[in-house]
Structure 1
Amino acid sequence: MEKSNNKFIFCAIGIFISYFYFGILQEKITRGKYFYETVDENGNKIIETEKFVYVLSLVFIQCLINYIVTYATLHLWPQKEDKTSTLYYVSISTTYLLGMVSSNMALQWIPFPTQVIGKSAKPIPVMILGVLIGRKSYLLRKYIFVLLIVAGMVMFMWKDKPAGKVDSAFGIGELLLILSLTMDGLTGAVQERVRAESSPSGHQMMKATNGYSTIFLISALIVTGEVFTFFKFANRHPYVVYNLLALALTQSVGQMFLYVMVSDFGPLAVSIVTTTRKCFTVLASVLFFGNSLSIRQWYGAALVFLGLFLDIFFSKGKQSSKKKGKEDTKKLLDSK
């Protein structure tokens, strides 16, 4: 028992440290200002500032590192043959990519805490698509918990408009978050079909998904020309490359800890750890990057996390078996 507790604590600390540092790096890269020296038309040296807008490059590095890590893992610990259809993995990779790209792109318009709170609402599209496409039914309390999450999101993301000015409460950043959540829901729906038909392991799905995503992104980087503009940006700011590599590595390491925890302790334990981690990520963003929150936003965040914790607590009876935990591994990994 003591050995099991020590392993749980070790994995929980690994998840906290990995994703805590991941959140700091992600905000530092996407929300930071980059200074460089240039010369004006009179030959005078001036300091210019620019922002990181190379989302395809960021996601490409993440997918590539994820693929390398899972490839090495499967090479060291071989598993049964994965007989999943290529079409399924192409579909998963497409929605997975759109979800990641739109989520990271949203940070150009919204603060990092808003993105974290928004991504915490993944149960909403999963439930909606489960009812509409999968013809699933849920208990009344499930709808109540999701309603709490929706209410909290609206409170947190609603924009205070200046007096006399009539604007939409939701802007480009919020719409990109909604797109990202929709893609998350579609990804989960296809993954459910894959698990029912061929039952690949979490690492096999992670490897295939990131492999196809890497190929798609290479094409997108060339077609859009971002590969060339990113190289110029990286040449002006070399340290951003190290930050991107560190970002991808912390994500991969975090996912490895998640896989071990969900296999040994089940998805309930993972959900509690990761939801708690998101609370601390929001606090870190406020403390380290000066993202101040209004009283209404604090109440909204509290409602979101309350809905998540209640859903976790009342779902524990259905999530207790190790077999169920292994089946849910990839779903949990994709939601982090």
Structure 2
Amino acid sequence: MNSNTKFIFCALGIFVSYFYFGILQEKVTKGKYPVEVVQDDGTITEVNEKFTFSLALVFGQCFVSYLFAKGAVLIKGDPEDRSNGLTKLYGATSLTYLLGMVCSNMALQWVPYPTQVIGKSAKPIPVMLLGVLIGKKSYTLKKYFFVLLVVIGVVLFMYKDQANIKSNESSFGFGELLLIMSLTMDGLTGGMQEVMRAKPAKPTGEQMMLNMNFWSCIYVVLALVFTGDGLSFVAFAKRHPVVLFNIGMLSIAGAVGQHFIYIMVAQFGPLPVAIVTTTRKFVTVLASVVFFGNTLITRQWVAAMIVFGSLFLDAYYSKSGARPDKEIKK
């Protein structure tokens, strides 16, 4: 298939996979886990435990994604080892990727979910800037402008009016600082992925996914051992075996979505991936309007037109430009 068709196919794969992933994640993290507790007076009451094992959840995703990538490499039959000379880069990129995820999840302890979504919507900006500084990428002014419009559109769409914000919520605090750190880690990850793509032995999406998840598994296992969360999760899973099935299905959905992401990174670079994953959140909310009859205010309709208009213009000018590749290496 040609590059445009492949891009659309991968984008749809990301949308569908992570839509199902989000449903399962909600089921795992917000589900009810009843357990009987014997009180001091001898009576037995039933209470609901909370799932608090984010490290175990991340390990499940990384391990299944590693197996998925390993299988994809074997099926594809790629005899070339494209990880030569990239070991340190894979290790560093995996670390920044995990730190970005951890900072983003930790931020939810101090900021509401809509604030986290709005903050992470700016992801394409650090990915673009650090792609220039680290990955030695070069973009046209139009590209900068269209990416900025997409981010503005998503923020406008997700923005929560001041009247709906609690008066005791601080304007800036530790949660917002964690979001900034998460965005910085996202930018560093994108920049180092650009460096990978510039290497003579350019890795395929499957090779990149395989090595990134290999290192991620090592980091998460070390964290599980040192924090003691590994043993705690085993005890929790014994009490609630259904959580293993749900984590398994979630990890499979995440592995499929991640496969599409790494194919896009290898073929098109991390910036288009950041735009697609940012737009995915926006489209998910917009889909609720179409399928469930939720209403939008005028500001949100304007934001929708900004996002889709910016994406259309970016695709149009990228395709019709005089140079075959607008994003040229320096």
Q: Calculate the TM-score normalised by the size of structure 1.
A: 0.74
**Distance in 2 of aligned mates of 1:190 and 1:6:** 26
Could you tell me how far 1:64 is from its partner in structure 2? 0.5
Tell me the equivalent position of 2:81. 81
1:185 matched to 2:187: yes
- The question of whether the paired residues in 2 share the 8 Å contact of 1:117 and 1:301 is answered with no
Tell me the equivalent position of 1:100. 101
What amino acid is the match of 1:141? Answer: K
Per-residue deviation, residues 188-210 of structure 1 (Å, max 9, x unmatched): 11111122123111111111110
Deviates more, 1:205-214 or 1:303-312: 303-312
RMSD of the TM alignment (CA)? 4.5
Could you tell me how far 1:212 is from its partner in structure 2? 0.9
What amino acid is the match of 2:241? Answer: P
> Within 5 Å, which residues of 2 pair with 1:224-303?
224-257=227-260, 277-282=280-285, 295=297, 298=300, 302=304
Q: 1:217 to 1:151 in 2, by over 3 A?
A: same
Q: Which residues of structure 1 form unaligned runs of 5+?
A: 328-336
Per-residue deviation, residues 211-242 of structure 1 (Å, max 9, x unmatched): 01101111110001111221222233222211
Q: 1:227 to 1:34 in 2, by over 3 A?
A: same
Q: Indicate which of 196, 220, 235 corresponds to 1:194.
A: 196
Deviates more, 1:169-178 or 1:204-213: 169-178
Identity within the alignment, %: 53
**Distance in 2 of aligned mates of 1:293 and 1:234:** 40
**Distance in 1 of aligned mates of 2:38 and 2:257:** 43
Could you tell me how far 1:6 is from its partner in structure 2? 10
Deviates more, 1:268-277 or 1:175-184: 268-277
Could you tell me how far 1:128 is from its partner in structure 2? 2.7
Per-residue deviation, residues 75-125 of structure 1 (Å, max 9, x unmatched): 232241221332111111111111223334445556666555544432111
- The question of whether the paired residues in 1 share the 8 Å contact of 2:205 and 2:264 is answered with no
**Distance in 2 of aligned mates of 1:261 and 1:165:** 42
Could you tell me how far 1:272 is from its partner in structure 2? 8.7
Could you tell me how far 1:298 is from its partner in structure 2? 4.0
- How many residue pairs align between the two structures? 322
**Distance in 2 of aligned mates of 1:152 and 1:8:** 22
> Within 5 Å, which residues of 2 pair with 1:20-39?
20-39=19-38
What amino acid is the match of 1:41? Answer: D
Tell me the equivalent position of 1:52. 51
- The question of whether the paired residues in 1 share the 8 Å contact of 2:139 and 2:326 is answered with no
- The question of whether the paired residues in 2 share the 8 Å contact of 1:84 and 1:194 is answered with no
Q: Which residues of structure 2 form unaligned runs of 5+?
A: none
Could you tell me how far 1:11 is from its partner in structure 2? 6.4
Q: 1:59 to 1:12 in 2, by over 3 A?
A: same
Q: 1:205 to 1:264 in 2, by over 3 A?
A: closer
Matched position secondary structure for 1:207 = helix
What amino acid is the match of 2:285? Answer: V
Matched position secondary structure for 1:49 = strand
**Distance in 2 of aligned mates of 1:297 and 1:73:** 44
What amino acid is the match of 2:64? Answer: I
**Distance in 1 of aligned mates of 2:269 and 2:165:** 50
**Distance in 1 of aligned mates of 2:174 and 2:287:** 25
What amino acid is the match of 2:94? Answer: S
What amino acid is the match of 2:187? Answer: G
